[in-house]
Amino acid sequence: MDESRECGRCGQLRPTESFLGATGRSFLSCQQCREYARRINQASRDARPGSNRAMNLWTKYRITEAFYDELRSRQGYRCAICGIHEDEIPATLAGRPRKDGKPSAQAFRLVVDHCHGTSAIRGLLCNGCNSALGHFRDSVEALRRAMDYLESEPLTVPPRAVV
């Protein structure tokens, strides 16, 4: 007996396997709806003037490419925390390989740092500094404790007995 379930998008009863991706991941919508959504999204991107970079900056941070470039210039093209110049940061490809075979876009070398509470832009950081702030969950107290830890005297280890 073939099992089926209702698609969360179109409401049609579809075979259970049409809700599974190539890796076995389960989806709420059927394969036909996912493919349709992919085509619509691609057509929307193709019809939109401007770059994906501009779209990403606006969608995520509500800033323009011009503002991002002005901020880079204002910071001397350096990370606002460690001061590394963006030319010294290895250029990496962004994301997974594209299905259409086109090369992936180069990732931003300096990423936009923002307050997760207010969404206010704080500056541009290298990936390492941005990740570090993320690991500290933007907590000033946790960063102070980390500074105290780094400034503390290292532990003394008793010498090993020679056998």
Residues 17-65 have pLDDT tens digits of 999 998 989 999 999 999 999 999 888 877 776 777 888 898 899 999 9
Give the pLDDT mean for 129-156. Answer: 92
Give the pLDDT mean for 145-159. Answer: 90
Burial 62-98 (b: 16+ CB within 10 A, else e): ebeeeebeebbeebeebbbbeebebeebeeeeeeeee
Interhelix angle 52-61/65-74, rounded to 10 degrees, is 80
CATH class of 51-154: alpha beta
Q: Where are the domains of the chain?
A: 9-48, 51-154
Residue 18 tokens read as 């049409």
Do 160 and 113 meet the contact criterion of CB atoms below 8 Å apart?
no
Q: For the whole prediction, is pTM greater than 0.75? A: no
Give the pLDDT mean for 1-15. Answer: 89
Instruction: Give the pLDDT confidence score for residue 62 in this predicted structure.
Output: 93
Q: Is the pLDDT of residue 139 over 80?
A: yes
